[in-house]
């Protein structure tokens, strides 16, 4: 399978609810990172998973959590949604932690919290 696929493409949730976003990475890409991109901003690193274990976290609270599965799929879970969580959530995968060859990004999930 080629490319990175994210689902759903758009989502509207109410403040306080929980959400799960899904990502299917390229075969062989053992690294997956999640980024949050607010309107008018560059992507901000949430966390990274390497071989199914969390490998680093950005400045995001614990209510942001994730999972990576052996089949190169992953999830981003956000509990107790806040209005400021409204953003484009991007999944990115790499075979080498992106250090030289960069990341392949999905098209993102646009989350709106009302």
Partner 1 sequence: TQLLEQSPQFLSIQEGENLTVYCNSSSVFSSLQWYRQEPGEGPVLLVTVVTGGEVKKLKRLTFQFGDARKDSSLHITAAQPGDTGLYLCAGPDRGSTLGRLYFGRGTQLTVWP
Least spacing, CB of residue 16 vs partner 1, in Å: 28
Neighbours of 53 (CB within 10 A): 8
DSSP 58-69: -S--TTEEEEE-
Q: How many CA atoms lie within 13 A of 60 on its CB side?
A: 24
Closest alpha carbon to 91 in 111, 78, 73, 79? 73
Could you say whether residue 40 binds partner 1 (CB under 8 A)? yes
- Complex with partner 1: residue 106 or 113, whichever CB lies closer: 106
- Complex with partner 1: residue 66 or 108, whichever CB lies closer: 108
Footprint of partner 1 on 79-108 (CB under 8 A): 90, 92, 94, 96-108
Closest alpha carbon to 28 in 44, 4, 57? 4
Least spacing, CB of residue 79 vs partner 1, in Å: 23
Binding interface with partner 1 (CB under 8 A): 4, 31, 33, 35, 40-45, 48, 55-56, 58, 90, 92, 94, 96-108
């Amino acid at each position: 399978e080629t490319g990175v696929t994210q689902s759903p493409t758009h989502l509207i949730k109410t403040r306080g609810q929980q959400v799960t976003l899904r990502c299917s990475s390229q075969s062989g890409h053992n690294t997956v990172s999640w980024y949050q991109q607010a309107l008018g901003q560059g992507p901000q690193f949430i966390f990274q998973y390497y071989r199914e274990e969390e490998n680093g976290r950005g400045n995001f609270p614990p209510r942001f959590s994730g999972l990576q599965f052996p089949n190169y799929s992953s999830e981003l879970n956000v509990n107790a949604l806040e209005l400021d969580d409204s953003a484009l959530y991007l999944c990115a995968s790499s075979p080498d932690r992106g250090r030289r060859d960069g990341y392949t990004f999905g098209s993102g999930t646009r989350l709106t919290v009302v």
